[in-house]
Amino acid sequence: MPDEEPSSGYQLRVVQEVVLALLAKEASHGYQLRARLQLALGPLAEALNAGHVYVTLNRLERAGLVTSKRVGQTDRPDRKVYELTDPGRERVVEWLDDTSWPKPAPAEFHLKLVAAAAAGLSDPERLVDTQRHVVLAGLASAQRAALGEPAGSAAALLLEGVVLRLQADLHWLDACARYWTSRKEH
Amino acid sequence: MGRILLICRLALRDLRRRPGEAALLLLATTAATATLTIALALNGVTGQPFQSTRAATAGPDVVASLAWPGQSEDPADLAGLEALASAPGVAAHSGPYPYTQAVVEANGVTVRAWTQGRGAEAAAVDQPALVEGGWVADGGAVLEASFAQAIGVDAGDAITLGGRSFRVAGVAVTAAADPYPKVCLAPCWFGVGAESRAENGPPRTRPRPERGPPSGPPEEPSFWIGQGGLVWVTEADARGLATRPGSLAYVMNLKLTDPAAAPAFVRAHMPEAESMLFPVAWQDILYGHARVAEWKQTALLGGSWMLGLLALASIAVLVGGRMADQLRRVGLLKAVGGTPGLVAAVLLAQHLAVALVAAAAGLLAGRLVAPLLAEPGIGLIGRADPGPLTLPVAGLVTALALGVAGVATFLPAVRAARTSTVRALADLPRPPRRAGWLIAVSARLPVPLLLGLRWAARRPRRAVLGVAAIAVTVTGIVAALATDARRYAEKAPGDDPRTALGQVLSLVVVMLVAQAVVNAVCVIWAATLEARRSSALARALGATPGQISAGLSAAQVLPALGGALLGIAGGIGLAEILDDDPVAVPPLWQLLAVVLGCVVVIAGLTAVPARLNARRPAGEALRTEPA
Amino acid sequence: MPSESLSSLGPALRTHGLRMRYGQGTGLVNALDGVELEVARGETLAVMGPSGSGKSTLLHLLGGLERPSEGEVWLAGRRIDGLGEKALARLRRQAVGFVFQAFHLMDELTAEENVELPALLAGMSPRAARRRAGELLDRVGLAGRAGHLPSALSGGERQRVAVARALSNEPLVVLADEPTGNLDSAATADVLRLLDSLRETGQTLVIVTHDARVAAIADRLISMRDGSFVEETRLTRGGGRLSELAGLEG
Ligand SMILES: Nc1ncnc2c1ncn2[C@@H]1O[C@H](COP(=O)(O)OP(=O)(O)OP(=O)(O)O)[C@@H](O)[C@H]1O
Ligand SMILES: [Mg+2]
């Protein structure tokens, strides 16, 4: 799924930190970084095109977090090798120590149901049902992707995380369905 | 008090809830108590008819006979015999009467008989009592009753005696000789006389030929030593029948002032020289009569012990099955802090109640059957009266029943009490390490066999009980067959009264088989119940009802086969111990039939419940049986 | 042989007007109430629903473990609701693999023997059956426990043995009742991977589950309530962008 404007699709901050961290040990080419990311993301790397990593590296260079130098190659055109600067190194340490957690979705959906019921605009049960189907479909594709990964791969771990969160979401949606059904009966 | 009441109430309720099981228990225990009652009742059965015969025939205390085999008559010896009549301690005498041996032919049977010459007048000592016909006359013989019965002859029939035609004048009983075919006068020796002669007499002792074939030595001597019947004729006829030289002998009957001193008298009057004078004490003759009854009693006593063991096995299996059933309950009780003692007490109460009923039923049944077996044997008069149902007998029988029930309940109860609570709740089969070798052995077998072996191994104690029960049964059957084979091998011509033992043996065998079937039903009942979940599961996985039946049968048949083989060895050993005659191994086909019979019966008994279970859909059984 | 009468065309499973009643009078339970079902060959069907809605009952009827009170059950073109126990057993060994809700392992057989039992019953050679059992146990992560009796296995391990056992005779249809009920996330993934592999061999799978994650491997999801089907969802591939779901896009 090629996306010409990566900044709109990916949470760029994360990609920036990851690229910085990957450079912490030793200087690398852009394509090496991309290969690492692809391995970690497995099927999720489908949206990660080559340009995305270079765009990110350019931005980081502009921000003074990495430096680059050209290295001559015998049989190919010269390539850039990126290296971490001291501020970049500080940034990596900060990121690793950061404990903020991606926010789950319930509050917004919950308020949507309450509002829909109050306004009488839409049946909360129907909303829950529709949402359930969407989440279920997501779960199905995540689960299939997970099963497609060889056991023990890093990407499988990521996919398991996706599956478990969606599973939790479904459990909660079931609870919503029960609640709103019993509401209607009274 | 309230506790006892509670236990009784629970016991009664449990009994009522499982009537089939209670009936099995009752049957198993009753068979054992009945047999024991019969065996105890036969104790001393022959004593009485012999005594009444002795009274009715003025039976002798000592019978002294004299022969000169191979020689011409020696008057000096005859004088020695006659001198006994005036020996100290002799109160009365009759004879000497001449006797010889003659071959009797009647009804196609050819038997040798000791033929005694008697006068027409009544003798003071040993006057045979007629039970049929009249006394001897020229050309008219009187046959001893057991002999007449054995060759099927009645008063008035015609027989050939020593090649001459005789008429059977009558049939009589005597207390002066053993029953057919053990009649023996000089020149054979037995009893006290033979013993004292062996101790200090010349080495020419001729023991009573109880062992060995009834036929005589190869060249026809004037006297053979061996089994035969007893015939009375007139003195003239007796002398006339003694055709060969040295074939005429004499017998004298003595009455002592002290009958109890007869053995001492015999010892005192054993001739020192190589004389063929042979005194016999009445006690030795009684022993001959008692032997048949004694065999019967030994057989019955042995049989009742075996039945007792079988009953023990049945009850242990039933109780063990119920305990397994109740183990979960016990575990629950223990989990909430109760004691398993209550459960054990309830079981014990039930089984003791059943045992009491079984003791009563066994005493009654034994009492009814005993007279039939106590038939004294022809040759004696008066009815045998089995010992009355004394308190000790009743006590012993009741104790057996209660003991069996108690022991069989106690062990599993203790085990249940000691099982860890978690294991009891899960009702796990044996822990894996014990089944280790079996897993290795059976792993490569076809599916039904594999399942069968594992089922059998699940309750190893029960398998052992099953093996033991079959072994005991087959031991009994084979011992009976061996004894019977022995009796048959040495059977005298005609209808040998000793083969009457066969009746008793067959009774014992029938009861053993019945008991064993009850036992097998118990074992199979418990095993099938337990394998119900497993077999439903195997069916769910695609095993056909036939395969399940085969597996269940294998679980029973394989141990049974082992038990049967053990039993064959045990049976021959037992016959060796109990029977003082040398052992005859029953024919191979009989042994094979016993083993095959076991297998077929067990397989058949197993197939029925297995088939019945297989009719229910597999899922239904899976739902109802706990995992 | 039942395999001859099993057709290789048409749906793998089909029911018509299927009803199951337990008890009578006031204790009457309508465990199944007129179920119409068709499962195509190679399809994976998930059945979900609240406890007591009749899911296990449905599976039992599909596998011929119980007889319906009313209605028809067809397995691979053969009507099985009226067959005798013997014919049913033959059919099961050939065409059906069961994972029971309560595992139902044979207590007296080791894990390995439990797994190879259906294969042996189906006529596989002992050597091949043993090899297959070892392979299946390996795939559910139990290679090291092959020689243990069920009493020595944990609940989750027993469940995995039960799953392996259902596949050992390479059945036409696998009927799995809560195959992951006692498993942690990693063991669930193992089992799901194994069940999903049935797709490649064209085997049909019916899974009863409370776990949406398990249901997610199905092509179709049926929801049951009080003995009837209340909803049917086709789970199409590519629903929702994975990277979005993973929090990579926002
Ligand atoms: N043998 C039986 N006798 C009576 N009722 C039964 C029997 N077996 C099942 N039922 C009832 O049939 C209904 C359906 O049972 P079933 O086992 O199919 O439920 P389920 O959907 O599998 O539930 P769960 O998710 O709890 O396993 C239940 O109400 C149950 O009580
Ligand atoms: Mg269920």
- Sign, Cα dihedral of A69, A73, A77, A81: negative
Lowest mean pLDDT among B129-133, B442-446, C205-209: B442-446
Mutate to test the pocket of ligand 1, among C20, C24, C26, C55 (most ligand atoms within 8 A of CB): C55
Average pLDDT over residues B603-624: 77
Given a contact cutoff of 8 angstroms between Cβ atoms, the answer to whether B320 and B462 are in contact is yes
My answer on whether A171 and A143 are in the same domain is yes
Q: For residue B449, what pLDDT is reported?
A: 82
For residue C55, pLDDT over 60 is answered with yes
The predicted model gives C10-36 an average pLDDT of 90
- Domain edge (last residue) among A71, A97, A123: A97
Interface of B with C in 212-271 (CB under 8 A): none
Q: What is the model's pLDDT at position B211?
A: 34
C147-166 per-position pLDDT tens digit? 888 888 888 899 899 999 99
CATH number at residue A29: 1.10.10.10
- The model's confidence at residue B102, banded by pLDDT at 50, 70 and 90, is confident
pLDDT at B217 > cutoff 60: no
What is the structure's pLDDT at B627?
A: 45
Radius of gyration of chain B (CA): 32
Q: What is the pLDDT of residue C5?
A: 66
Range of the domain at A44: 12-97
Dist. CA B626 → ligand 2 center (Å): 15
Which of A114-128, A168-182, B220-234 is most confident?
A: A168-182
Residue B438 neighbours by CB distance under 10 Å: 17
Would the CB atoms of B432 and C149 count as touching at under 8 Å?
Answer: yes
Tally of domains in chain A:
2
Q: What is the pTM of this model?
A: 0.67
Contact B122, B154 (CB under 8 A): no
Q: Is residue A45 part of a domain?
A: yes
Nearest CA to ligand 1 atom 8: C22
pLDDT tens string B277-329: 777 777 777 776 666 666 666 666 677 677 777 777 777 777 666 666 666 55
Q: What is the average pLDDT value for chain B, to the nearest integer?
A: 73
> Using one digit for the tens of pLDDT, what is the confidence trace for A12-50?
556 788 888 888 888 888 888 888 888 888 877 776 666
The burial of A180, by beta-carbon neighbours within 10 Å (0-12 exposed, 13-18 middle, 19 or more buried), is given as buried
State pLDDT tens for residues A80-113: 888 889 898 888 888 888 777 776 678 888 888 8
Whether B499 has a pLDDT exceeding 60, the answer reads: no
With touching defined as 3+ CB pairs under 8 A, do chains A and B touch? Answer: no
Helix or strand run (H / E) with residue B347: helix B341-373
Do β-strands C96-99 and A66-71 pair in parallel, antiparallel, or remain unpaired? unpaired
- pLDDT over 60 at B445, yes or no: yes
Instruction: List chain B domain ranges.
Output: 57-203+221-287, 435-491+499-620
Tell me which range, B122-126, B232-236, B583-587, C43-47, is most confidently predicted by mean pLDDT.
Answer: C43-47
Residue A6, in any domain of the structure: no
Helices A50-62 & A12-22 angle (0-180, nearest 10): 80
Residue closest to B611 by CA, chosen among B555, B561, B554, B550? B550
Output the pLDDT for position B571: 82
Contact C218, C235 (CB under 8 A): yes
Sign of CA dihedral C5, C9, C11, C17: negative
Across the interface, whether the CB atoms of C104 and B537 are under 8 A apart is answered yes
Q: What is the pLDDT of residue B204?
A: 45
Question: Are A61 and A88 members of one domain?
Answer: yes
Q: Which residue has the tokens 């069916």?
A: B539
Give the distance from residue C130's alpha carbon to the nearest chain B alpha carbon, in angstroms.
Answer: 10
Q: In this structure, are residues C99 and C174 in contact, taking their beta carbons and an 8 Å threshold?
A: yes
Q: Whose CA is nearest to atom 24 of ligand 1?
A: C51
Given A80, A97, A114, which residue is the final one in a domain? A97
Poorest-pLDDT segment among B174-178, B228-232, B606-610? B174-178
For residue B64, what are the β-bridge partners? B252, B279
Tokens at residue B369, please?
């059957």
SS3 B411: helix
Judge if A85 and A115 occupy the same domain: no
- Residues B297, B291: Cα–Cα separation, whole Å: 10
| Chain A: partners with 3+ C-beta pairs within 8 Å | C
**B238 vs A104 pLDDT, higher one:** B238
Q: What percent of chain B has pLDDT over 90?
A: 1
CA B413 from chain centre, in angstroms, equals 35
Helical packing angle, B501-530 and B341-373, nearest 10°:
160
pLDDT > 90? residue C209 = yes
Cβ atoms B539, B614 nearer than 8 A: yes
Contacts B532 to C, Cβ<8 Å? none
For residues B73-92, give the mean pLDDT: 73
User: Once rounded to an integer, what is the mean pLDDT over residues B453-463?
Assistant: 76
Which pLDDT does position A17 carry in this prediction? Answer: 82
User: How far apart are the C-alpha atoms of B300 and B310, rounded to whole Å?
Assistant: 15
Burial B591-603 (b: 16+ CB within 10 A, else e): beebbeebbebbb
Contact B68, B278 (CB under 8 A): no
Higher pLDDT pick, B340 / B305: B305
Query: Which residue in B358, B605, B264, B298 sits closest to B480, CA to CA?
Result: B298
* CA–CA distance, B314 with B462 (Å, rounded to integer): 10
Beta carbons of B234 and B63 less than 8 angstroms apart: no
Ligand 1 center from residue C53 Cα (angstroms): 7
| Local structure of C13: helix, strand or coil | strand
pLDDT recorded at residue B16: 80
Superfamily of domain C40-63+85-248: P-loop containing nucleotide triphosphate hydrolases (3.40.50.300)
Mean pLDDT along residues B23-33:
81
Give C98-136 pLDDT, tens digit per residue: 898 888 888 778 899 889 888 888 888 888 988 999 999
Residue A82 is assigned to a structural domain of this protein: yes
Mean pLDDT in residue range C197-201: 88
Q: Is pLDDT larger for residue B73 or for residue B169?
A: B169
| pLDDT > 70 in chain A, percent | 83
Least confident of B190-204, B344-358, B434-448, B533-547: B190-204
Q: Which of A43, A140, A170 sits opposite C239 (nearest CB)?
A: A140
Q: How far is the CA of B155 from the centre of ligand 2 (A)?
A: 89
Assign C75 a pLDDT band (cuts: 50, 70, 90): very high
Helix pair C85-95, B545-578: axis angle to 10 deg: 110
Q: Is the residue at A135 inside a domain?
A: yes
Determine the Cα–Cα distance for residues C158 and C149; give it in Å rounded to an integer. Answer: 10
Quick one: pLDDT at residue B143?
85
- Domain ranges for chain C, please list them: 40-63+85-248
Residues making up chain C, counted from first to last: 250
Could you tell me if B382 and B147 are in contact, meaning their C-beta atoms sit under 8 angstroms apart? no
pLDDT at B471 over 50: yes
Residues less than 5 Å from ion ligand 2, measured at CB: C 56, 101
Q: Are B454 and B440 in contact (CB under 8 A)?
A: no
Question: Quick check: is A172 in a domain?
Answer: yes
CB contact under 8 A, A142 and C242: yes
- Which residues sit opposite A84 in a β-bridge? A66
Could you say which of B435, B540, B543 has the minimum Cβ distance to residue C98? B540
Residues with CB under 6 A from ligand 1: B 623; C 22-23, 29, 31, 49, 51-57, 101
With beta carbons under 8 A apart, name residues in chain A contacting C198.
none
What residue has token string 């083989």? B565
> What's the CA gap between B117 and B98, in Å, rounded?
5
C-alpha to C-alpha distance for B279 and B271, rounded to whole angstroms: 9
Give B308: exposed, middle or buried? Use CB within 10 Å, 0-12, 13-18, 19+.
Answer: buried
How near does any CA of chain A get to the CA of C141, in Å? 12
Highest mean pLDDT among A7-16, B422-431, B567-576, C14-23: C14-23
Contact C189/A at CB under 8 A: yes
Residues B168-187 pLDDT 10s = 888 888 877 777 776 776 66
Instruction: Report the run of H or E that residue C183 belongs to, with start and end.
Output: none
In a domain, A127, yes or no: yes
- A32-41, B143-152, B213-222: the lowest-pLDDT one: B213-222
Task: Indicate the pLDDT class of residue B245, thresholds 50, 70 and 90.
Answer: low
pLDDT, residue B230, reads 83
Residue corresponding to tokens 């069907």: C45
In this predicted structure, which of B128-137, B200-209, B261-270 has the lowest mean pLDDT? B200-209
For a pocket test of ligand 1, which of C18, C21, C22 has the largest count of ligand atoms closer than 8 A to its C-beta? C22
Angle (CA) B443 B449 B455, round 5°: 85
Closest of B209, B223, B265, B181 to residue B497, by C-alpha: B181
Touching partners of B (3+ C-beta pairs < 8 Å): C
Tell me if chain A has a CB within 8 Å of the CB of C216: yes
Q: Note whether residue A3 is domain-resident.
A: no
| DSSP for B114-155, written as a single string | EEEEE-SSPPSS--PEEEEE---BTTEEEEEHHHHHHHT--T
Facing residue for C109 by CB, picked from B428, B454, B547? B454
The arithmetic mean of pLDDT across residues C211-227, rounded, is: 91
